[in-house]
Structure 1
Amino acid sequence: MHKRQTVKLIWHGGCFEFPDPGRAMSFRPFTSESYARGERPDAWRDVLNAVGLQPAAKTSFHDGHATASHRHAPGIALSRLSAGSQIIAAMPQAGEDLPIALLAIEDGAVLRSGDSHRIVPSGHLILLPRTGDWSLAFQRDLRAIVLSVTIEALHGRISGKLKFAKPQVVAPSGLADVVCRTIESTARALETLSDAEWSTVAQSLVDLLLTLAHQQAAPVSDTGSSATQAAILHRICQSIERRLEDADLTPASVAQGEGISERYLQKLFESAGDNFSHYVRERRLQRAWTDLSNPAEANHSISEIAYRYGFADSAHFSRSFRARFGLSPREFRQQKAEQAVTSATPRGQRGWPQDALAQQRACQTSAVAKTDSALPAPANDQDAQQRNHHHLAVSAERVHWGYFSRSLPPQIEIASGDTITVETLTQHASDDPELMIAGDAGAQSVFGWTKAKKNVDRRGAGPMDASVFGRGAGEGFGVHICTGPVAIKDAQPGDVLEVRIVDIVPRPSRSPRHQGRVFGSSVAAWWGYHYNELIASPAPREAVTIYEIFADEPEPHARALYSYRWEPQTDPAGIVHATYDYPGVPVAPDSIKRRHGVLDNIRIPLRPHFGVIAVAPREADFVDSIPPSYFGGNLDNWRLGKDATVYLPVAVPGALLSVGDPHATQGDGELGGTAIECSMTGTFQVILHKKSQLAGKPFADLSYPLIETATDWVLTGFSHPNYLAEFGAQGQSEVYATSSLDLAMKDAFRKMRRFLMHIKGLSEDEAIALMSAAVDFGVTQVVDGNWGVHAILSKRLFADAG
C-alpha cells in the first residue's frame, strides 16, 4: 500500500498552483468536496487569502461544505463565496491597495470595529481596510461577493494614497448602488465571460471602486496633503483618463478645466511623488499595453492603437514601449497572441475548438490503501434474536409527501443494529387507481381525496395556500411519498448511518378484480430530458405507461399493459391540471384513451430498488424531495437494491431516516422522467457509526451518499453536492436552473479522487491513472433537479492489497 501523499494547492494571483513555481494550474471553481475533512481548513484559508482575507484569530476554521467561484486579472480578484458560519478579518498586506469591497448577499453580517459592533444588512457594501482591528462575523452562513483591487491594477494611476482607518458600510444608493449591481451581476457571469469581456469588466470594477472609495474616505497623502487636495488630484486623474487620446493634452488645459493654476496642478502631482508629463506617458503606455494584449483588438494595427492614446509618431511609441516593458509593441503583441491561442483550448476538449482557431487567425493578422471487506455475513440466529425487529405500516399518518424536514416528529425510534420493515407507496398509484389503490387500505388512506377532505394535504415543500401556481397545498414542489421518519437512538450530527437493504418485495394489488397481481407506472413528462426533443405529433405531450410486474418468475420482468397520453384532469378540489404537475391527482378512466399493444413482446428485467433513502437535512425545515444531495434523498440509482448498503452522513439529532419512491426497475439516466414506479415493502438493518469511531473506515470523512454492494463501491456525484448550503435561501429553485452533467461529472471525479487518496492511500497521479483505466462513470439521472453521475469502483482492484 502506498503512503498517502498530501498535495497542498495554494491560491496565487487568484488561481490554484502547485508549490513548484511555474507549474500553475488554470482557474477552476473551488469546492470543499475535493478535500478530506482535515485538509479543508487550509484549503479554505487559501481561498480567503486570494481576496485579502483570512479567518479571524481565535476562531475555528471552516471545515464544512464550501464553494467559491473566482476570477482574477493583474491586481484584481473577484470571488463569490459560500460557506458556513465563521468570522473573517484582513490578511495584512503592504502597498497602496484599495480597500476590500465585500457585498453580503444573504443574511448580512455583524461588523466589529474596535469596541463597536454593527449589524450589516444584506445588499450593503462594506469597504474593509487591509489592516486594522476589525472582524466580520457571519453568524449563520457566509454568502458574499468580494472584490479585491491592489495597486497593480491601477497601472500607474494615482489613487490619492487612500487610507481607511476603519470599515465603511455603504447603503446601496447612487453610485454605491451601481457598484453593488455591477459586482453582483459580474459574479453571476464569472464562468461565462470570455477573457476579453472579463478584462473589460474588471477594469470597470477598478474604476468604480476607486471612485466610490474617494467618496467614502478622507484620503491622506504620505507627504501630508489635505483631503481636499487629494480629492482634486483624483478628479484630475479622471479627467486625464478621459482625454488620453488627445495629443494636445497639456497641464495648462487640464488646470483650466479644474479651475486651478498650472503651478498648483504640478504641486499636486509632486505631493504624490510624480509629475504631470510622466503620469500621462505612463497611463498612455499602460492603456496601449492593455489593448495590444487583448485579442478583441487584434484587427487594429499597432499604429492605430498608438494614435488612439496620443502618440503621433509610431517610432517614438515603439521606443517608449520597449523602454517601459522590455519588448517592442510587435514582439509583445505576438507573445500575447501565442499565449491566448494556447490557453484558449478548454481542458477536457480534444482538438481545436472553432473559437480558438478564429482567435488565432485574428491575432496573426498583426504578426509576421486499505483491504476491502464485503458486506458482513447475515447474522446468526442467536444474534437475530437479540436484536429488535420493527414494522412501519403505511398510512396517511405515517407518511410525509414531497418533502424532508428536520422538524418532523419520528414515527418510531429504533436502536443501532435493529431491523425494520417499511411499507412504501409509489406516488404514481393514481395513474390507474383501480389497479394500484382500490381495496388497499393503506393506499386508500394516503391517496384519499374528496371534495370535502384530502387525507394528506401537503404535497411538496411549497406554500400551503398554493399561492404560486394554485396547484394545491405544497404546490408539488416535491412529489415522493416517504414513509417515516425513523429516529435512530443516539444518532448525532457527524455520525454515519449505515442502511442495509435486507429485502424488497412488491406490494400486490388488493383490488378484488386483480388481487395478487402487481402493477406499476412510468411517466414521460414535462420534466423529462426528452421533452423539448419530440419529433412526432402532438408535441409537446406527456405519456403514461402502465405495467404488470412479474416478480416471482425465474426471470423477473415487467410487461407493458397499455399507455395513454395525459389529458387535463380536474382534481376533487376543482383545480384543472393541464400537465402532470401535482402528485396524486386521480386519473378519471373515461378521460383518457388507452393504447394497447405498446412495447409488445418486450420483457423489461427488474431492478427493484428504492429511489429515495434519506436522512433529514439540517439547512431548512421544508426541503423539496426531488433534488438529491449529501443527505441522500432521491438518488434514483438502481444499485440500491436487495443486499446493497448506503452510508449517509447524519445531519440532525436522531438522523430521521425516511424511505420512499419504490421502483420496479430503472435505466441509468431515468431519461423520460420516472422509472417503473411500483409500491414495495423493504426490510432494512440500520447501524449507527459514531463520529469518534470512523477513523480507518471506508466511510470516514463522508460528505455524500456512499453505496456499497458485494462487488463495488458506488460514489454519488451531483451538479451541486450541497445545493442548500451553496445557494442558501434560493437553493431549492437555483439548483433546478443551474444543474448540468459537466458539474455532476466533476463532482463524481473529485469524490472518487478523494476516496482513492484518503481511503485507499493512493497518490493523486495514481488515483487519476486508476480512474481512467478501471473506474466506470455513469449518468445516474438527468431529471431530478440536481443531476447525478455515479462512479463505480470494483473491490477486485484491491484484492491483493491485504
Structure 2
Amino acid sequence: MSFRPFTSESYAKADRPEAWRDVLADVGLQPVSGHSLFDGHATASHRHAAGVALTRMAAGSQSVGPLSQANEDIPIALIPVEDGMVLKSAGGHRIIPVGHLVLLPRNGDWSIAFQRDMRAIVLSVTSDALHGRHSGKPRLRDPRVVPPGGFADVFARLLDAAARALDTLSDAEWNSVAQSLVDLHLTLTHLVAVSSADVGSSATQAALLHRICQTIERQLGDADLVPARVAQAEGISERYLQKLFETVGDNFTHYVRERRLQHAWIDLSNPTEAHRSISEIAYAYGFSDSAHFSRAFRHRFGLPPREFRQQEAERATLQHGIAGQRGWPQEALAQLRAHQNPEARGRIACVGAEQKTTTERRHHHLPVDASRVHWGYFSRSLSPQIEIASGDTITIETLTQHASDAPDLMIKGDAGAEAVFGWTRDKKNVDRRGAGPMDASVFGRGAGEGFGVHICTGPVAVNGAQPGDVLEVRILDIVPRANRNPDRAGRVFGSSVAAWWGYHYNEFLGGPKPREVVTIYEIFDDAEMPHARALYSYRWEPQTDPFGVVHTTYDYPGVLVASTVKRRHAVLDGIRIPLRPHFGVIAVAPREVDFVDSVPPSYFGGNLDNWRLGKGATIYLPVSVPGALLSVGDPHAAQGDGELSGTAIECSMTGTFEVILHKKADLAGRPFADLSYPLIETETDWVLTGFSHPNYLAEFGAQGQSEVYTKSSLDLAMKDAFRKMRRFLMNVKGLSEDEAIALMSAAVDFGGTQVVDGNWGVHAILSKRLFQDAP
C-alpha cells in the first residue's frame, strides 16, 4: 500500500524535528526556522504514487518554505484547513482564509506561517507523474492565491475529499484519484498562469500545448490520430502545432507513441486489469498490430508485454503477502536513540521532594462541595481550589456522577453530595455540566449540554509546575464514601449503566430495542473478599428534570431519577463481583482550549478508565499549563477491561495522593523523560496508554471534540499502544527496534482499556521482572 501514516508518538522527542522534516520534504516543503515542531505533537496522512504526493497534516505553529527543486516547474498546491495561515512573499504579508487554494513555486523567496497550528492539505506533483506526457509546464515566479469558485472549487473539493479518504482507498482507487488530481492541478495552474499579466506570451503557448495534450489523451485509442486533425480542432496550422512541441524538445508522433505505451504500461501493471488480454489493451491505445506493439513496448521498457505483466503480478502478490502478516512492519523506521536503563524505582522516585524532610511535607484535605467541583470538563482557565508543594500529600473527596441513579442511596443525608446535586425549579447548584454552550442551544439538554459528564474535584495547583515538567501522582489510599443517612449509615452503594454510548447498544438479541438499563449495587468492603452485589435494576424511563426538560435517554448527568421507576430484583443473583477500586479520571489541564469535554482521554490523562489506577499505583502526566491543575473524579468500585456497556460500577470515593513534581531540566535518564502520554506504574508493571488519537485536540483542531467521537477505532488505539511501547523499550530500556518488537510479541500484554470514551484506549503492560537480569 502507498498509504503511510505519521505520528510523532513513534519518535523520541529529540528525533521528532528530523522526522517531521522528512514529512515536509515529501511534499516539497521544509521548515524555515530551527524549531519546526513547537508543541511536540504532529500527525500526517500521506499517500504517494509516481510523482504524486498528497498529505493531510496537523502540527504545532511553525513556518515552512520551499525545498529547492531546481528541475521541477509544477507548483505545490496547498489548502489551509483552519484559519491562521499567513503567506509571506515579495508582495508582502497576506492572510489566507480557509477555502482559498495557494499555488506555491518550487523555488523563490516565500514562506507560510501557521500562527496557531499547522493544519493543511498539501499536493505535490512532479514531472514523474506525467509519464512522458507534456503539460506545457508553466513557471510561477510568485505564489498565487486562488479564491473558491468555479474550477478552483472543484479542484479544492476533490483535494479535501481525497485527503479524508487516504487510508480507505485501495491502491487501484488511489492511482485513479491521483491521476485526476494531476490533471486538475495542471489545468488550474495554466489558468492561473495565463491570467497573470507578468508571465508573458510563453504562458499562453504553454496553456495551448497543455490543451492539445489533453485532446491527445482523450483520443489515444484512435489509430488515425494525426497532427492535421488535432491542429484543425484547435484552429491552428499543423506547422504551428509542431513548433509547439519543439518548444519542449519533442515532436507530435513521438509524443503520441510515448503516451500510448505509458498507458499500456499502467494497465499491464494493474491487477484490476488482469482480465483484459494484451492485444485488447494494445488496441485500446491505438496499436492496430499486436506484434508491432510488442516490439515497441520491449524497446521502450526492456521487457515484452507478457513478461512485464507476469513480473508485476508476482510483485503485487509478494507485497500483499507481506502486508497481511502479523508483526511485519511495511517500512523500517529510523532507529531511535537508545538511553541507558533507568535507576531502580526507589532511587528515582522523587526529584525536588527528596530535598524536603518529612516535617516540611504538608498534608492537605479537599472536601467535596458544589464550589469545589467542575462537572464534565477540564479547563486551563479554572482557578485552583488549593495550591500544594511537590512532595505534599492530599486527600481528595470525589463523587460519582451516577449517584443520581439512586438518590435515596447515594445522595440523601450526605451534605457534600446534596450540595453538588442540588437542583430545584429555581436553582441548580452546579449549573454547567459539560463543555458545551451554557444556553443549551445544541440539544436543549441543559447548561454544558452533557458534553462531558464527570464530577471532578479540584483543580489542585502544584507550586512551580510549568509546561514541560512531569507530575507524578501516587495513589496512597482509596476509601469508599459511606452512606451518611442514619437509615443506611456506613453502607456503600454504586451504579452501572448499560447506556446508549455502550459498545453493545446496536447488538441486542431481545426487545425492546434499543434500551438502557441501570443496575444498582451494594459495595461490601469485606477483608476476605471485597465485592459488589446487585440490589436491583431498572430500564431507563423518560425523566423530567426540575427545569422541565424531558430526558428520554440517559443524555444529561445528574438528573435525579424518580423513585417510581420499575425495579427488577434478583438480578445477577448469587454473583459477587470482586472490587477493583480506582479513579477513572486523573487529569492535568490540557493546553489547547479553555473547555475540554471530560469524556475522551488524551495526553493529559483524563477519563482513562483503567482499573490498574488503584491503591499503590502511580501515574505520570506531562504538564501543559502553569500549576499543572490536577483534578480527580469518576471513582469506580469495579470495572473490566473494555468497560463494554458504557460505565463501570460507579461509586463515590475518597483518595489520598502524594504529588511529586519532576522539573524538565531533571528528566534525563528517567522512564518519563520523554513523556507525551499518561504512564502508569504499579509495583510489578509499567502500563502504557494508547489511544485512537493520542492528541485529538491537536490533530483535529477546532473540530476535535466532535471529530474524535466519529473516528475512533481499536485498530488505531492498538497502533498507538504499539508505537509507544516500542519507543519506551528503545529509549528507556535500550533495546534495538528488532529486540523491542520481539519482546512485545513474546512478553507484553496488550488489552482494550475502554471502547466507550470517544477516544478508545488500548493499554500495553510491561512486566518489570523481564529486566531483573538485564545489564
TM-score normalised over the length of structure 1: 0.92
On the 8 A contact 2:3/2:166 being kept in 1, the answer is: no
Question: Could you tell me which residue of structure 1 aligns to residue 506 of structure 2?
Answer: 532
Question: Could you tell me which residue of structure 1 aligns to residue 434 of structure 2?
Answer: 460
Return the alpha-carbon distance in structure 2 between the equivalents of residues 760 and 743 of structure 1. Answer: 25
Structure 2: gaps (5+ residues):
328-339
On the 8 A contact 2:584/2:611 being kept in 1, the answer is: yes
Return the alpha-carbon distance in structure 1 between the equivalents of residues 694 and 751 of structure 2. Answer: 16
Return the alpha-carbon distance in structure 1 between the equivalents of residues 555 and 12 of structure 2. Answer: 40
Question: Could you tell me which residue of structure 2 aligns to residue 720 of structure 1?
Answer: 693
**Cα shift readout 1:448-500 (whole Å, capped 9, x = no counterpart):** 11111111111111111111111111111100000000111110000000001
- In percent, how many aligned pairs have the same letter? 77
Structure 2 letter corresponding to 1:643: G
Return the alpha-carbon distance in structure 1 between the equivalents of residues 603 and 220 of structure 2. Answer: 55
Question: Could you tell me which residue of structure 2 aligns to residue 4 of structure 1?
Answer: none
1:758 paired with 2:731, answer yes
Structure 2 letter corresponding to 1:490: G
5 Å-filtered alignment, 1:155-194, equals 155-194=131-170
Question: Could you tell me which residue of structure 1 aligns to residue 278 of structure 2?
Answer: 302
Q: Aligned match of 2:539 in 548, 565, 583? A: 565
Return the alpha-carbon distance in structure 2 between the equivalents of residues 239 and 193 of structure 1. Answer: 29
Return the alpha-carbon distance in structure 1 between the equivalents of residues 301 and 434 of structure 2. Answer: 62
Question: Could you tell me which residue of structure 2 aligns to residue 40 of structure 1?
Answer: 16
Return the alpha-carbon distance in structure 1 between the equivalents of residues 502 and 387 of structure 2. Answer: 37
Shift of 1:27: 4.5
Of 535-544 and 382-391, deviating more is: 382-391
Return the alpha-carbon distance in structure 2 between the equivalents of residues 383 and 267 of structure 1. Answer: 89
Q: Aligned match of 2:309 in 333, 343, 350? A: 333
On the 8 A contact 1:481/1:660 being kept in 2, the answer is: yes
CA RMSD of aligned residues (A): 1.9
Shift of 1:343: 2.1
5 Å-filtered alignment, 1:367-382, equals 369-371=340-342, 373-374=344-345
Report the CA distance shift for 1:48/1:706 in structure 2 as closer, same or farther (over 3 A).
same
Question: Could you tell me which residue of structure 1 aligns to residue 96 of structure 2?
Answer: 120
Question: Could you tell me which residue of structure 2 aligns to residue 23 of structure 1?
Answer: none
Report the CA distance shift for 1:128/1:274 in structure 2 as closer, same or farther (over 3 A).
same
Question: Could you tell me which residue of structure 2 aligns to residue 388 of structure 1?
Answer: 362
1:623 paired with 2:599, answer no
Return the alpha-carbon distance in structure 1 between the equivalents of residues 376 and 34 of structure 2. Answer: 42
Question: Could you tell me which residue of structure 2 aligns to residue 711 of structure 1?
Answer: 684
Shift of 1:349: 4.7
1:28 paired with 2:4, answer yes
SS at 2:40 equivalent: coil
SS at 1:428 equivalent: helix
Return the alpha-carbon distance in structure 1 between the equivalents of residues 270 and 541 of structure 2. Answer: 56
1:551 paired with 2:525, answer yes
5 Å-filtered alignment, 1:58-97, equals 60-62=36-38, 64-97=40-73
Return the alpha-carbon distance in structure 1 between the equivalents of residues 92 and 665 of structure 2. Answer: 40
On the 8 A contact 2:17/2:35 being kept in 1, the answer is: no
Q: Aligned match of 1:418 in 377, 392, 404? A: 392
5 Å-filtered alignment, 1:279-318, equals 279-318=255-294
On the 8 A contact 1:427/1:480 being kept in 2, the answer is: yes
On the 8 A contact 1:775/1:794 being kept in 2, the answer is: yes
Shift of 1:226: 2.7
Shift of 1:163: 0.8
Structure 1 letter corresponding to 2:341: K
On the 8 A contact 1:44/1:62 being kept in 2, the answer is: no
Q: Aligned match of 2:249 in 273, 279, 288? A: 273
1:595 paired with 2:568, answer yes
Return the alpha-carbon distance in structure 1 between the equivalents of residues 206 and 651 of structure 2. Answer: 75
**Cα shift readout 1:83-124 (whole Å, capped 9, x = no counterpart):** 000000111113244100011111241111136111111121
Structure 2 letter corresponding to 1:495: D
Question: Could you tell me which residue of structure 1 aligns to residue 379 of structure 2?
Answer: 405
**Cα shift readout 1:375-398 (whole Å, capped 9, x = no counterpart):** 579999x94432111111111111
Return the alpha-carbon distance in structure 1 between the equivalents of residues 33 and 612 of structure 2. Answer: 46
Return the alpha-carbon distance in structure 2 between the equivalents of residues 38 and 276 of structure 1. Answer: 54
Return the alpha-carbon distance in structure 1 between the equivalents of residues 34 and 636 of structure 2. Answer: 51
On the 8 A contact 1:504/1:682 being kept in 2, the answer is: yes
SS at 2:4 equivalent: coil
Return the alpha-carbon distance in structure 1 between the equivalents of residues 202 and 476 of structure 2. Answer: 79
Question: Could you tell me which residue of structure 2 aligns to residue 355 of structure 1?
Answer: none
SS at 2:359 equivalent: helix
Shift of 1:553: 3.2
5 Å-filtered alignment, 1:327-726, equals 327-345=303-321, 347=323, 349=325, 369-371=340-342, 373-374=344-345, 383-590=357-564, 592-726=565-699
Report the CA distance shift for 1:787/1:250 in structure 2 as closer, same or farther (over 3 A).
same
Return the alpha-carbon distance in structure 1 between the equivalents of residues 258 and 378 of structure 2. Answer: 61
Return the alpha-carbon distance in structure 1 between the equivalents of residues 402 and 710 of structure 2. Answer: 25
How many residues align? The count is 757
Return the alpha-carbon distance in structure 2 between the equivalents of residues 485 and 442 of structure 1. Answer: 17
Return the alpha-carbon distance in structure 2 between the equivalents of residues 170 and 517 of structure 1. Answer: 69
Of 302-311 and 108-117, deviating more is: 108-117
Q: Aligned match of 1:781 in 744, 754, 764? A: 754
On the 8 A contact 1:609/1:640 being kept in 2, the answer is: yes
SS at 1:101 equivalent: strand
Of 312-321 and 55-64, deviating more is: 55-64
Q: Aligned match of 1:246 in 222, 228, 241? A: 222
Question: Could you tell me which residue of structure 2 aligns to residue 50 of structure 1?
Answer: 26
**Cα shift readout 1:34-90 (whole Å, capped 9, x = no counterpart):** 000000010000011111111114555546100110111000000111100000011
Shift of 1:231: 2.0
SS at 1:464 equivalent: coil
Return the alpha-carbon distance in structure 2 between the equivalents of residues 43 and 442 of structure 1. Answer: 51
Structure 2 letter corresponding to 1:91: L
Report the CA distance shift for 1:517/1:424 in structure 2 as closer, same or farther (over 3 A).
same
1:791 paired with 2:764, answer yes
**Cα shift readout 1:534-559 (whole Å, capped 9, x = no counterpart):** 11221211111101111143211111
Structure 2 letter corresponding to 1:118: R
Shift of 1:303: 1.4
On the 8 A contact 2:635/2:653 being kept in 1, the answer is: yes
Report the CA distance shift for 1:602/1:796 in structure 2 as closer, same or farther (over 3 A).
same
On the 8 A contact 1:219/1:230 being kept in 2, the answer is: no
Q: Which runs of 4+ in 1 moved over 6 A?
A: 376-380
Of 763-772 and 332-341, deviating more is: 332-341
On the 8 A contact 1:372/1:795 being kept in 2, the answer is: no
Report the CA distance shift for 1:458/1:118 in structure 2 as closer, same or farther (over 3 A).
same
Question: Could you tell me which residue of structure 2 aligns to residue 10 of structure 1?
Answer: none
Structure 1: gaps (5+ residues):
1-14, 16-25, 352-368
On the 8 A contact 1:160/1:219 being kept in 2, the answer is: no
Report the CA distance shift for 1:229/1:219 in structure 2 as closer, same or farther (over 3 A).
farther
SS at 2:107 equivalent: coil
Return the alpha-carbon distance in structure 2 between the equivalents of residues 407 and 210 of structure 1. Answer: 48
